[in-house]
Amino acid sequence: MDAAFWHDKWERGVTGFHLDHINPYLAAHWHQLKLPAQAPVLVPLCGKSLDLAYLAGEGHPVLGIELNTLAVESLFASLGAVPEPKPDGALRRYQWDEVAVLQGDLFQVMPEQAAHCTAFYDRAALIALPEAMRSRYVAKLAELMKPGAVGLLVTLDYPQESMAGPPFAVSEQEVMARLTPHFEVEPLASHDVLADNPRFVAKGVPWLKEQVYRLVRR
């Protein structure tokens, strides 16, 4: 899944991952993280997710990271804003009120660009990446988050052989194996969601789970 893959999706409007509402697991579990008010939140691979507005509405300064300019512009349009991007390291920074997005490649973000973030939120970031990139992603998240940083992770699991990703299946076993070297991992919830996802049913996926974890950077 290189940059061209994602740019093509955005240009063709093939963005089935985007929700036109706040992610229900974010709304249900964010307060369980017991974060200090106004803890800045990093949202890697943020797309044009409305979840950034939710987090900002909860009092958190938000820093999204997103490759695609159309996605970033749509995100700010949904906030009624048209910020001018400014160069920021190898990326471009868009800022409106408490919401900032670095447009560019997550793997080019330098630790100092996210150093203020003490919390993070991953929905459809880890599971957007093929297996080989998932280790790189976890290492990057660990590099950007200081010890004590707290995050919410939402994953999907299904028999990978029944469908080609993305989204990729990431089992609880994989979450534990990949993340525990860097993070304490606490499973918070697991839901059978096949019936709510006709796109997966149509592809013959026999079961589908969404899982939610609380992570703390060691």
Ligand X SMILES: C[S@@+](CC[C@H](N)C(=O)[O-])C[C@H]1O[C@@H](n2cnc3c(N)ncnc32)[C@H](O)[C@@H]1O
**Diameter over CA atoms, the chain:** 46
DSSP-derived 3-state class of residue 23: coil
- The footprint of ligand X on residues 2-21 (CB under 6 A) is 6, 17-18
Nearer to ligand X by Cβ, of 68 and 155: the residue is 68
- Position 113 contacts ligand X (CB under 6 A): no
DSSP-derived 3-state class of residue 94: strand
* Interacting span for ligand X (CB under 6 A) from 74-82, 110-118, 121-129, 192-200: 121-129
For the purposes of burial, counting CB atoms within 10 Å of the CB of 5, is it exposed (0-12), middle (13-18) or buried (19 or more)?
exposed
- Position 217 contacts ligand X (CB under 6 A): no
CB of 46 to ligand X, least distance (A): 5
Contact predicate 117/150, CB 8 Å: no
Q: Which two tokens stand for residue 137?
A: 């992603």
CB of 79 to ligand X, least distance (A): 15
For the purposes of burial, counting CB atoms within 10 Å of the CB of 52, is it exposed (0-12), middle (13-18) or buried (19 or more)?
buried
- Position 153 contacts ligand X (CB under 6 A): no
- Position 183 contacts ligand X (CB under 6 A): no
Residue ranges that bind ligand X, judged by CB under 6 A: 6, 17-18, 45-47, 49, 65-68, 71, 105-107, 123-125, 128
